[in-house]
C-alpha cells in the first residue's frame, strides 16, 4: 500500500519522542499543519512522553502521567500518528519511506528524529537474563517485573545522569544498589573533582555503594543462564542478580546510513545550520540523532527543541523568521536521588585567564563553584547539594553580576549578606533555555495575557515545560509580577491543598480533623480529593496531626494506621538510615546526664551487637551499624534499662545540651543541668516543621553554645535569658534575645508559647531561624505574641503544650510491645529471616566502619550523554 503524495505537500516525521513532539508543535505554530499533510512514524508502543522525568515512574507516576502527547492536539491538526510502526527504509530518489507495517509514504520533507540508543559495553554475557538497559518506559516495566520476582541486589553500569537515576530506582524497588563507573568520579561531564566528591558522599550516605575508577570485564551467569555477578577491571567480583547498563548513548543513525546520508565519524547524521542533512535538502535531522554544524551531537533536550524549531522554520521558508542552529547552551539542573546537581556555562573553567570562587561544606554535602573572568564576568559554575540559585546564575552568565561573586555562593548569614533574586535580572535574561523564553516574555504573559498561575504561564510561553529546571525561578517571577499588579497569589502548600501549612494547622485544630484523608477529602483541591496526596503534603499534615494529637483525638504514635503511610523514610523504622544500609540507635540522655549503670547498659549492647559508638556534640551516645531486624532487640534492652527514643530520626526535639552549671563549675550561677533535663523531658517527642535543638548554659561563658540553638537558655545572677531562632547548621545564625532575667516558671511558660507559635505558623521544613526572619515583623512580632500576648492566644498555646506533655508516650516502648508493628522490621518482606547481605563492616580504630570503596579523584570525559 502506498500513500500517494497528491496535491497536498507532505511532511513525514520519523520518531516521536520529546524532540519530535516539539517539532509537531512548531509546525502547528507556523500554520504548516493546515497546509501540509503530516505523518508521524513512532517506533515505541506509545506516543511521546517525558523521558527527562522517566524515573518518576518509580515514585508513583504512571505512563499516562508522563505522556507529552495531547491527542486532541493531534486530532485538531490532522496529524497522522502511527504508533508501534517505525520507518524501515528510505528511498531518497523516489522520496518514499516504508514503514514496518508495509505502508509507504511519499514526502516533500522528511524529518529524522530517531534519537539515540543505549551503549552497552561489549562484555561477555551482556545479554544474559537479568541484564537491562534504562531508556524507555518498556525498559522500566521490565526492570520492575524482574526486581519483584527474581532480584535482591542490582548493579548499574554507568555513573552519569541516567545511571544515578537507575540506581535510585533499583533502591526504591527494595534492591541493594551498586553503581559502577569507569571514570574516577561520578558525573564527570557535569561536575569537577570537588563537586564529584560532594556528590559521592551524599549518595553513599543514602545507602548506595559506589565503585569508581573500575570497568566491567564480564557478566557472571549461573547454571540457569541468569546473572549472578560482575567481574570488575580491578580483579574484584561484585555479587548481583541484576545489571542495568546506563553507560551513555549513541545516535540512532542506521536508517540514515542505509539510505546513503552522510554521518559523522563517531556517528550522527550530518546537518547544516538549518538542520538539513548535508546530503539531501529534502531530509532533516533533529535531536540526538543529528550531528550539528558545529560538529557536536547534543544529548540535552533544550538543543533538540531548538533544532525542532529551526527545522520547522526552514520547511516553512519563513524569511522573516529564519532560524539557525549553530550550537547550544549545555547548562543543566537535575535532582538525582534527591540531590540537586547543576552546571552552567564554562563550568570547568576552560576559558583562559579565569578565576574560581568556591564554597564547600563536606559535612552538609554542599559544593558551589563560580568561574569568573578577570573583568568580573560570570562565565559558569557548578552547584551540588543546593541549586536554588541556578536559574538566576545561569541567566547572569556572560555578564558582570550586580553583587560580588562571593555573595552568590555563600549561604544566608555568611559574607556580606547580599542577596540576588530573579527580580534583579534584566528582561532579556533567558529563564527557560529549553524554549528560549526570556524574563520579559514571562512578565508579558502575566501583564498582557492575564496569566495568574505558573501552569497558565507555562501554557502561554512554554517556559518550564522542558527539563523543568527553571520552574522555581518561573514561580518567583510570576508571584512577583502578580503582587506588583495587586493580584492575590496562590500560596497553597502543594498541588493537593490551596491552603498554606499555617492555614491547614488552624483547620485541623479548629475542626478536630484527625486523619489526613479526611482533611484531603474536605479541604483538598477538587482535583485532588479522593486521591492519595503527594510527598509534600503527606509528611507535613502528619506532623500537624502528631503535634496536635491529644487535642484533636488522634493517635500520637507515628506508626499507627494511616499515620505510618504518611511519614518520612527514617520514621518508618524509628531510626536513621546510614550510608551502608544499616541504622543508628540513639537513646535519649536528657541534659547529657547519665549514670554509670546507664553507661554500662549502652556499652554492653554496643558490644553484644557489634555497634560503633560515638559521643555526639549533643551530649548523647550514638550507636551505629544496627541491621533493621536488630532494632527491636536492641531497643527492648534499652527500654528495659529505662532509656527512651532520642528522636534522632524525626522532625522533633533532638537534645537540650548543657554545661555542668553551678553544681560543679566555679563560674556557674544557675543549675543548668537540672534545667536542661527538665526542658528535654518536657518537650521530648514534640513534632514540629523542622528538627529542634536547644541548650542551657550555666553562665555567660556559654560553654553549652546556647546561642546557636533553636531555643537557648543562658543563666544570669537574676535568673535565665531566653534566646530564639539560632542555627548552627548549614546556614549559621546567632539567636536573638527574646526575654531576660526570667524565673524558672516564666522561662518554661515562654518556651511553651514560642514553640507552639512556631509550630502553628511555620512553613513545612522551615527551621526557627528561617521562620524568624520570614515572619512579618520578625522578632518584635514574636515578642509581642508570646511575651505580651498581643493576639490573645497565649492561653491556648500553653494549653496545647500541656496536652502534649500529659500524653507523651515513648515510641519505641510502644513499638516493642506490638507484634504487628514489629513485623515491619525486616530487610526483605518476602524473606523476613534473611539479613541484608550487603550491610558489611571492616575494623577501624578498635571499632567498625562501613565496608565501602574509597574515592579516587581524576577526570575522563564520557562519550555521549543521556537526554537531559
Question: In a 10 Å sphere around its CB, with 0-12 CB exposed, 13-18 middle and 19+ buried, how is residue 321 labelled?
Answer: exposed
131 labeled binding residue: no
Q: Give the Cα separation of 400 and 751 in Å (integer).
A: 47
The phi and psi torsions of 80 (rounded to 5 degrees) equal -90, 105
SS3 219: strand
Task: Spell out the residues 6+ positions from residue 303 whose beta carbon is closer than 8 angstroms to its own.
Answer: 292, 325, 328, 329, 330
Q: What is the rounded (10 degree) CA torsion for 647, 653, 656, 657?
A: 60
Largest CA distance in the chain: 101
Its sign, for the CA torsion 768, 774, 777, 778, is positive
Count CB-CB contacts under 10 A for residue 224.
8
494 labeled binding residue: no
Count CB-CB contacts under 10 A for residue 345.
22
Given the C-alpha cell 567481574, which residue does it identify? 231
Contact criterion met (CB below 8 Å) for 177 and 151: no
DSSP for residue 164:
H
Q: In angstroms, what CA-CA distances link 21 with 32, 66, 289, 692, 697? A: 14, 13, 15, 49, 64
User: Measuring CA to CA, which residue among 561, 535, 563 is closest to residue 765?
Assistant: 535
Give the CA count within 13 Å in the CB-facing half-sphere of 168. 22
DSSP class per residue in 744-792: HHHHHHHHHHHHHHHHHHPPTT--HHHHHHHSTTHHHHHHHHHTS-TTS
SS3 212: strand
434 labeled binding residue: no
Its sign, for the CA torsion 107, 110, 115, 120, is positive
Q: In angstroms, what CA-CA distances link 111 with 10, 116, 690? A: 11, 15, 52
- The C-alpha cell at 490 is 496562590
CA 274 to chain centre: 37
Given the C-alpha cell 500500500, which residue does it identify? 1
CA 87 to chain centre: 38
Task: Spell out the residues 6+ positions from residue 317 whose beta carbon is closer than 8 angstroms to its own.
Answer: none
470 labeled binding residue: no
Contact criterion met (CB below 8 Å) for 190 and 865: no
User: Measuring CA to CA, which residue among 782, 558, 576 is closest to residue 686?
Assistant: 558
Question: In a 10 Å sphere around its CB, with 0-12 CB exposed, 13-18 middle and 19+ buried, how is residue 705 labelled?
Answer: middle
- The C-alpha cell at 790 is 498581643
Q: Give the Cα separation of 71 and 24 in Å (integer).
A: 12
User: Measuring CA to CA, which residue among 492, 183, 512, 467 is closest to residue 330?
Assistant: 467
Q: What is the rounded (10 degree) CA torsion for 825, 826, 832, 836?
A: -160
Given the C-alpha cell 509580577, which residue does it identify? 481
Contact criterion met (CB below 8 Å) for 38 and 77: yes
- The C-alpha cell at 721 is 535569658
Given the C-alpha cell 522551615, which residue does it identify? 766
Q: Give the Cα separation of 799 and 551 in Å (integer).
A: 9
SS3 531: coil
SS3 241: coil
Q: In angstroms, what CA-CA distances link 132 with 138, 263, 729, 853? A: 11, 28, 42, 25
Run of H or E residues at 674:
helix 672-683
Which residues carry a binding-site annotation for siroheme?
A: 703
Which residues carry a binding-site annotation?
A: 659, 665, 699, 703
Which residues carry a binding-site annotation for [4Fe-4S] cluster?
A: 659, 665, 699, 703
Amino acid at each position: 500500500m502506498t500513500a500517494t503524495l497528491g496535491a497536498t505537500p507532505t511532511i513525514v516525521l520519523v520518531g516521536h519522542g520529546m524532540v519530535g513532539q516539539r517539532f509537531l508543535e512548531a509546525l502547528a505554530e507556523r500554520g504548516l499543519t493546515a497546509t501540509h499533510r503530516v505523518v508521524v512514524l513512532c517506533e515505541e508502543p506509545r506516543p511521546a512522553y517525558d523521558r527527562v522525568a522517566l524515573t518518576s515512574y518509580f515514585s508513583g507516576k504512571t505512563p499516562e502521567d508522563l505522556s507529552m502527547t495531547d491527542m486532541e492536539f493531534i486530532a485538531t491538526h490532522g496529524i497522522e500518528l502511527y504508533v508501534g510502526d517505525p520507518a524501515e527504509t528510505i528511498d531518497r530518489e523516489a522520496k518514499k519511506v516504508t514503514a514496518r507495517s508495509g505502508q509507504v509514504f511519499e514526502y516533500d520533507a522528511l524529518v529524522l528524529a530517531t534519537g539515540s540508543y543505549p551503549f552497552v559495553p561489549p562484555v561477555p554475557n551482556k545479554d544474559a537474563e537479568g541484564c537491562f538497559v534504562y531508556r524507555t518506559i518498556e525498559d522500566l516495566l521490565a526492570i520492575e517485573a524482574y526486581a519483584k520476582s527474581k532480584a535482591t541486589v542490582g548493579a548499574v553500569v554507568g555513573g552519569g545522569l541516567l545511571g544515578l537515576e537507575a540506581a535510585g530506582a533499583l533502591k526504591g524497588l527494595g534492591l541493594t544498589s551498586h553503581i559502577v563507573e569507569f571514570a574516577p568520579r561520578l558525573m564527570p561531564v557535569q561536575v569537577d573533582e570537588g563537586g564529584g566528591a560532594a556528590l559521592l558522599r551524599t549518595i553513599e550516605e543514602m545507602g548506595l555503594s559506589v565503585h569508581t575508577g573500575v570497568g566491567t570485564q564480564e557478566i557472571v551467569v549461573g547454571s540457569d543462564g541468569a546473572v549472578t555477578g560482575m567481574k570488575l577491571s580491578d580483579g574484584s567480583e561484585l555479587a548481583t542478580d541484576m545489571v542495568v547498563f546506563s553507560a551513555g548513548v549513541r545516535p540512532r543513525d542506521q536508517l540514515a546510513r542505509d539510505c546513503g546520508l552522510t554521518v559523522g565519524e563517531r556517528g550522527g547524521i550530518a546537518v547544516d545550520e538549518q538542520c538539513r542533512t548535508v546530503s539531501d535538502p529534502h531530509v532533516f535531522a533533529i535531536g540526538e540523532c543529528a550531528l550539528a554544524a558545529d560538529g557536536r551531537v547534543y544529548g540535552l533536550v533544550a538543543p533538540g527543541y531548538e533544532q525542532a524549531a529551526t527545522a520547522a522554520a526552514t520547511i516553512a521558508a519563513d524569511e522573516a523568521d529564519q532560524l539557525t542552529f549553530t550550537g547550544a547552551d549545555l547548562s543543566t539542573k537535575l535532582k538525582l536521588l534527591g540531590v540537586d546537581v547543576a552546571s552552567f556555562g564554562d563550568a570547568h573553567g576552560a576559558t583562559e585567564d579565569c578565576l574560581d570562587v568556591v564554597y564547600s561544606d563536606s559535612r552538609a554535602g554542599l559544593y558551589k563553584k563560580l568561574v569568573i573572568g578577570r573583568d568580573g564576568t560570570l562565565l559558569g559554575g557548578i552547584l551540588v547539594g543546593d541549586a536554588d540559585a541556578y536559574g538566576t546564575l545561569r541567566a547572569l552568565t556572560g555578564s558582570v553580576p550586580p553583587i560580588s561573586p562571593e555573595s552568590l555562593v555563600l549561604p544566608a548569614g555568611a559574607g556580606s549578606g547580599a542577596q540576588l533574586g530573579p527580580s534583579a535580572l534584566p528582561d532579556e535574561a533567558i529563564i527557560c533555555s529549553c524554549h528560549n523564553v526570556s524574563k520579559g516574555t514571562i512578565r508579558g504573559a502575566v501583564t498582557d495575557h492575564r496569566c495568574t498561575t505558573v501552569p497558565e504561564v507555562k501554557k502561554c510561553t512554554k517556559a518550564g515545560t522542558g527539563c523543568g529546571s527553571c520552574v522555581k525561578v518561573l514561580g518567583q517571577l510570576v508571584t512577583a509580577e502578580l503582587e506588583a499588579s495587586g493580584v492575590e497569589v496562590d500560596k497553597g502548600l502543594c498541588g493537593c491543598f490551596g491552603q498554606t501549612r499555617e492555614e491547614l494547622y488552624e483547620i485541623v485544630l479548629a475542626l478536630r480533623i484527625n486523619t489526613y484523608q479526611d482533611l484531603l477529602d474536605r479541604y483538598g483541591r477538587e482535583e485532588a480529593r479522593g486521591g492519595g496526596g503527594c510527598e509534600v503534603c503527606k509528611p507535613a499534615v502528619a506532623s500537624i496531626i502528631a503535634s496536635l494529637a491529644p487535642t484533636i483525638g488522634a493517635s500520637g504514635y507515628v506508626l499507627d494506621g494511616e499515620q505510618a503511610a504518611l511519614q518520612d523514610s527514617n520514621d518508618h523504622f524509628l531510626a536513621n538510615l546510614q550510608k551502608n544500609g544499616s541504622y543508628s540507635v540513639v537513646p535519649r540522655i536528657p541534659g547529657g546526664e547519665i549514670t554509670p549503670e546507664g553507661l554500662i547498659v549502652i556499652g554492653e549492647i554496643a558490644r553484644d551487637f557489634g555497634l560503633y559508638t560515638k559521643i555526639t556534640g549533643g551530649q548523647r551516645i550514638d550507636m551505629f551499624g544496627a541491621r533493621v531486624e536488630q532494632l527491636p532487640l536492641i531497643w527492648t534492652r534499652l527500654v528495659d534499662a529505662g532509656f527512651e527514643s532520642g528522636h534522632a530520626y524525626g522532625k522533633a526535639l533532638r537534645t537540650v545540651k548543657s554545661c555542668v552549671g553551678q553544681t560543679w563549675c566555679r563560674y556557674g550561677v544557675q543549675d543548668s543541668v537540672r534545667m536542661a533535663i527538665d526542658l528535654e523531658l518536657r518537650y521530648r517527642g514534640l513534632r514540629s516543621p523542622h528538627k529542634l535543638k536547644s541548650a542551657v548554659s550555666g553562665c555567660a561563658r556559654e560553654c553549652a553554645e546556647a546561642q546557636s540553638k533553636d531555643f537557648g537558655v543562658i543563666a544570669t545572677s537574676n535568673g535565665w535569658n531566653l534566646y530564639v531562632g539560632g542555627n548552627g547548621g548549614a546556614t549559621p545564625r546567632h539567636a536573638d534575645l527574646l526575654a531576660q532575667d526570667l524565673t524558672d516558671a516564666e522561662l518554661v511558660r515562654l518556651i511553651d508559647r514560642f514553640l507552639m507559635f512556631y509550630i502553628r505558623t511555620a512553613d513545612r521544613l522551615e527551621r526557627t531561624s528561617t521562620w524568624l526572619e520570614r515572619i512579618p515583623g520578625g522578632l518584635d512580632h514574636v515578642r509581642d505574641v508570646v511575651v505580651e500576648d498581643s493576639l490573645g492566644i497565649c492561653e491556648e498555646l500553653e494549653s496545647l503544650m500541656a496536652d502534649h506533655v500529659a500524653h507523651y508516650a515513648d515510641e519505641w516502648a510502644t513499638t516493642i510491645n506490638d507484634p504487628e508493628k514489629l513485623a515491619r522490621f525486616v530487610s526483605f518482606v518476602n524473606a523476613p529471616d534473611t539479613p541484608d547481605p550487603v550491610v558489611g563492616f571492616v575494623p577501624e580504630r578498635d571499632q567498625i566502619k562501613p565496608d565501602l570503596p574509597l574515592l579516587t579523584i581524576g577526570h575522563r570525559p564520557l562519550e555521549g550523554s543521556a537526554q537531559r
